[in-house]
A and B are shown apart, each in its own frame.
Chain A
Amino acid sequence: MNARGVVLAGVGGQGVVLASAVLAEAALQSGYEVKQSEVHGMAQRGGAVVSHIRYGEAVASPVVPLSSADVLAGFEWAEALRWMPYLRPGGALVVDARRIVPPGACRDHRRWGVPYPPLDPTTIAGRTGEVLLIDATGIASELGNAKAANSVVMGAVSRFLDLSDAAWEKAIARFVPPRTVDLNIEAFHAGQGADTLDPADIPELGLDPLPERHYHIDVNEEWCKDCGICPSICPEFCLALDDAHRLVVVDEEACTGCRLCEVLCPDFAIRITAPVEARGGAR
Chain B
Amino acid sequence: MTTLAIETRERALLSGNEAIARGAWEAGVRVASAYPGTPSTETLQALVHYDGVDARWATNEKVAVDVALGASLGGARALAVMKHVGLNVAADTFMTAAYTGVGAGFVIMVADDPGMHSSQNEQDTRLYARMGLVPLLEPSDSQEAKDFTKLGFEVSERFDTPVLLRSTTRISHNRGIVTLEERQDVPVGGFRPNPAKYVMLPAYARGRHPVVLERLQRLVEYAAELVTEEGSDSKVGIVTAGVPYQYVKEVLPDARILKLGMTFPIPVDRVRSFAATVDKLIVVEELEPFVEETLRAAGIDVEGKAYFPRTGELSPDLVHDGLAALGLVEPRSTGPEPPTTVVRPPLLCAGCPHTVPYWSLKRIGATVTGDIGCYTLAALEPLATMDTCVSMGASIGMATGLAASGGSDKPVVATIGDSTFLHGGVPALMDAVYNQANITVVILDNGTVAMTGGQEHPGTGRTLAGQETRAVDLPALCRAIGVEDLHVVDPYDVSATLRAIEQAMAYRGPSVVITYRPCIEAPVRIKDRPFWVDAEACTACQLCMNLGCPAIFWTSETFEGRRKVTIDVDMCTGCTLCAQLCPPRAILPVEVDA
Docked-complex contact A18 and B2, CB < 8 angstroms: yes
Give A43 to B377 CA distance when docked, in angstroms.
12
Size of chain B's interface in residues, with CB distance under 8 A? Answer: 81
When distances are taken between beta carbons in the complex, the residues of chain A under 8 Å from B336 are 126-127
Closest Cβ of chain A to B523, distance in Å, is 15
Cross-interface CB contact of A61 among B316, B344, B349, B382, cutoff 8 Å: B316
Asked if A60 meets B247 with Cβ closer than 8 Å, knowing A42-B346, A78-B341, A175-B3, the reply is yes
Give A168 to B72 CA distance when docked, in angstroms.
45
Give A46 to B397 CA distance when docked, in angstroms.
32
Cross-interface CB contact of B382 among A12, A33, A44, A107, cutoff 8 Å: A107
When distances are taken between beta carbons in the complex, the residues of chain B under 8 Å from A264 are 583
Give A79 to B344 CA distance when docked, in angstroms.
9
Q: Which chain B residues numbered 1 to 57 have a C-beta less than 8 Å away from chain A? A: 1-3, 11, 13, 38-39
Give A127 to B318 CA distance when docked, in angstroms.
22
Q: Which chain A residues numbered 170 to 211 have a C-beta less than 8 Å away from chain B? A: 175, 205-207, 210-211
Docked-complex contact B344 and A78, CB < 8 angstroms: yes
Q: State which of B167-175, B179-187, B421-429 sits at the interface with chain A.
A: B167-175
The residue of chain B having its C-beta at the shortest distance from the C-beta of A37 within the complex is B174
Give A116 to B552 CA distance when docked, in angstroms.
16
When distances are taken between beta carbons in the complex, the residues of chain B under 8 Å from A78 are 341-342, 344
Docked-complex contact B363 and A107, CB < 8 angstroms: no
Give A112 to B562 CA distance when docked, in angstroms.
7
Give A175 to B175 CA distance when docked, in angstroms.
15
Asked if A67 meets B333 with Cβ closer than 8 Å, knowing A81-B341, A105-B342, A207-B554, the reply is yes
| A48 interface residue per 8 A CB criterion | yes
Asked if A63 meets B554 with Cβ closer than 8 Å, knowing A35-B174, A106-B545, A213-B561, the reply is no
Docked-complex contact A24 and B13, CB < 8 angstroms: yes
Asked if A112 meets B558 with Cβ closer than 8 Å, knowing A37-B173, A41-B39, the reply is yes
When distances are taken between beta carbons in the complex, the residues of chain A under 8 Å from B253 are 60
When distances are taken between beta carbons in the complex, the residues of chain B under 8 Å from A81 are 338-341
When distances are taken between beta carbons in the complex, the residues of chain A under 8 Å from B374 are 45
Cross-interface CB contact of A36 among B13, B251, B348, B548, cutoff 8 Å: B13
The residue of chain B having its C-beta at the shortest distance from the C-beta of A208 within the complex is B556
Give A109 to B381 CA distance when docked, in angstroms.
12
Docked-complex contact A237 and B362, CB < 8 angstroms: yes
| A102 interface residue per 8 A CB criterion | yes
Cross-interface CB contact of B316 among A48, A63, A89, cutoff 8 Å: A63
| A40 interface residue per 8 A CB criterion | yes
Give A124 to B340 CA distance when docked, in angstroms.
10
Docked-complex contact B553 and A106, CB < 8 angstroms: yes
Docked-complex contact B342 and A115, CB < 8 angstroms: yes
Docked-complex contact B342 and A258, CB < 8 angstroms: no
Docked-complex contact A106 and B554, CB < 8 angstroms: yes
Docked-complex contact B542 and A61, CB < 8 angstroms: no
* Residues 542-560 of chain B, each 1 if its beta carbon lies under 8 Å from chain A, else 0: 1101101111111110111
Closest Cβ of chain B to A283, distance in Å, is 6
Count of A-B contacts judged by CB separation below 8 Å: 224
Closest Cβ of chain B to A92, distance in Å, is 16
Give A34 to B562 CA distance when docked, in angstroms.
51
Closest Cβ of chain A to B398, distance in Å, is 23
| A236 interface residue per 8 A CB criterion | yes
Give A36 to B549 CA distance when docked, in angstroms.
33
Docked-complex contact B2 and A21, CB < 8 angstroms: yes
Closest Cβ of chain B to A277, distance in Å, is 11
The residue of chain B having its C-beta at the shortest distance from the C-beta of A105 within the complex is B342
| A84 interface residue per 8 A CB criterion | yes
| A144 interface residue per 8 A CB criterion | no
When distances are taken between beta carbons in the complex, the residues of chain B under 8 Å from A115 are 342-343
Closest Cβ of chain B to A251, distance in Å, is 12
| A17 interface residue per 8 A CB criterion | yes
Docked-complex contact B332 and A67, CB < 8 angstroms: yes
Give A12 to B374 CA distance when docked, in angstroms.
15
When distances are taken between beta carbons in the complex, the residues of chain A under 8 Å from B175 are 21, 24, 34-37
Give A59 to B558 CA distance when docked, in angstroms.
54
When distances are taken between beta carbons in the complex, the residues of chain B under 8 Å from A236 are 542, 546
Docked-complex contact B543 and A41, CB < 8 angstroms: no
| B118 interface residue per 8 A CB criterion | yes
Asked if A66 meets B174 with Cβ closer than 8 Å, knowing A104-B343, A104-B347, A235-B546, the reply is no
Give A281 to B559 CA distance when docked, in angstroms.
10
When distances are taken between beta carbons in the complex, the residues of chain A under 8 Å from B320 are 65
Give A119 to B380 CA distance when docked, in angstroms.
28
The residue of chain A having its C-beta at the shortest distance from the C-beta of B542 within the complex is A235
Give A78 to B338 CA distance when docked, in angstroms.
12
When distances are taken between beta carbons in the complex, the residues of chain B under 8 Å from A116 are 342
Docked-complex contact B335 and A127, CB < 8 angstroms: yes
| B309 interface residue per 8 A CB criterion | no
When distances are taken between beta carbons in the complex, the residues of chain A under 8 Å from B1 are 17
Docked-complex contact A63 and B315, CB < 8 angstroms: yes
Asked if A65 meets B250 with Cβ closer than 8 Å, knowing A18-B2, A35-B175, A45-B346, the reply is yes
When distances are taken between beta carbons in the complex, the residues of chain B under 8 Å from A232 are 363, 498
Cross-interface CB contact of B346 among A18, A21, A47, A210, cutoff 8 Å: A47
When distances are taken between beta carbons in the complex, the residues of chain A under 8 Å from B174 are 35-37, 62
Closest Cβ of chain B to A29, distance in Å, is 10
Give A28 to B317 CA distance when docked, in angstroms.
26
| B563 interface residue per 8 A CB criterion | yes
Closest Cβ of chain B to A215, distance in Å, is 10
| A101 interface residue per 8 A CB criterion | yes
When distances are taken between beta carbons in the complex, the residues of chain A under 8 Å from B399 are none
Docked-complex contact A103 and B332, CB < 8 angstroms: no
The residue of chain A having its C-beta at the shortest distance from the C-beta of B543 within the complex is A235
| B285 interface residue per 8 A CB criterion | no
Cross-interface CB contact of B344 among A11, A85, A281, cutoff 8 Å: A11
| A166 interface residue per 8 A CB criterion | no
Give A125 to B338 CA distance when docked, in angstroms.
12
Docked-complex contact A260 and B541, CB < 8 angstroms: yes
Closest Cβ of chain A to B140, distance in Å, is 9
Give A89 to B332 CA distance when docked, in angstroms.
13
Give A130 to B409 CA distance when docked, in angstroms.
60
Give A89 to B409 CA distance when docked, in angstroms.
57
| B539 interface residue per 8 A CB criterion | yes
Closest Cβ of chain A to B22, distance in Å, is 16
Docked-complex contact A237 and B317, CB < 8 angstroms: no
When distances are taken between beta carbons in the complex, the residues of chain B under 8 Å from A101 are 342, 553
Docked-complex contact B246 and A60, CB < 8 angstroms: yes
Closest Cβ of chain A to B86, distance in Å, is 15
* Residues 256-274 of chain A, each 1 if its beta carbon lies under 8 Å from chain B, else 0: 1110100110000000000
Asked if A103 meets B561 with Cβ closer than 8 Å, knowing A40-B173, A67-B332, the reply is no
When distances are taken between beta carbons in the complex, the residues of chain B under 8 Å from A11 are 344
When distances are taken between beta carbons in the complex, the residues of chain A under 8 Å from B316 are 61, 63, 65-66
When distances are taken between beta carbons in the complex, the residues of chain B under 8 Å from A244 are none
When distances are taken between beta carbons in the complex, the residues of chain A under 8 Å from B250 are 60-61, 65
* Residues 364-381 of chain B, each 1 if its beta carbon lies under 8 Å from chain A, else 0: 010000000010010011
Give A78 to B560 CA distance when docked, in angstroms.
30
Give A101 to B566 CA distance when docked, in angstroms.
13
Docked-complex contact B317 and A102, CB < 8 angstroms: no
- Given A103-B553, A104-B380, A114-B342, 11 extra CB contacts under 8 A: A21-B175, A41-B117, A46-B347, A65-B250, A102-B342, A102-B343, A105-B343, A114-B554, A233-B583, A236-B542, A282-B559
A-B pairs with lowest CB-CB distance, top 5: A206-B556, A41-B118, A45-B346, A61-B250, A60-B249
Give 18 CB contacts A-B under 8 Å. Answer: A28-B13, A28-B177, A34-B176, A39-B117, A41-B117, A45-B348, A46-B346, A67-B334, A106-B565, A107-B545, A124-B339, A126-B336, A127-B336, A205-B556, A232-B498, A235-B542, A258-B543, A258-B562
